Amino acid sequence: MCAGKNLAAAFLERRGFAVADADTIAHQALEDVRDRVVREFAEEASRAGIALTRADGSLDRRALGTLLFSNLARLARHEAIVYPRIDALLSAFIDMNIHRGVVINAPLLHKSSVLSRCDFVLFIDAPVILRFFRALRRDTLTPRQIAARFSAQGKLFAQYLLKDVDIEKVHNRGSLRALERRLESALSRRGY
């Protein structure tokens, strides 16, 4: 969260790669399985005083996030519902763009079966304190909510190492141009 994945993805898209934004795909997947998610968590949300749907019947993703990120077991149950649909949408994107390089802009790609289709992973990283202040500026989350999301995403790099994937960490602790130079260098080492 707030490491610079979107900046990296935009740069790679300018270089000609087809970029799948996993957040956008996840929103589509969540909409596709919306009714099942609401049924699964309605009782717990009610006990917590959280309304999962708005007056117009649409899913309140922020309220759902509040419920899920406060309990890792709930988050895992949610992922078991949503990830199969995310995987299907990502696989379809890869298949449609097989003729060119594909980039998947995803914070949690290690949880997806699509990871096995990747040649390598560029892991965009930034210091926690920098990510925290970026989140405060970007999002309307409280510091406690940001900390909970950081905690839920903890040890991401290690998760990729456990999957034995070809991974390269790209640090984003300076300017946009510095990040772009690091990305260029990483791609060059990979023959792109």
User: What pTM, to 2 d.p., does this model score?
Assistant: 0.81
Question: CATH code at 127?
Answer: 3.40.50.300
110 vs 3, 4, 46, 67, 174, CA distance in Å? 16, 18, 32, 23, 26
Determine whether 56 is exposed, middle or buried from the number of CB atoms within 10 Å of its CB (0-12, 13-18, 19+).
exposed
Rounded distance between C-alpha atoms, residue 154 and residue 138, angstroms = 20
pLDDT digits 0-9 by tens, 12-68? 999 999 999 998 999 999 999 999 999 999 999 999 999 999 999 999 999 999 999
Rounded distance between C-alpha atoms, residue 142 and residue 132, angstroms = 11
Per the structure, the count of domains in the chain is 1
**Alpha helix ranges (H) inside 48-127:** 61-68, 72-96
Confidence of residue 70 (pLDDT cuts 50, 70, 90): confident
Parent domain of 79: 5-189
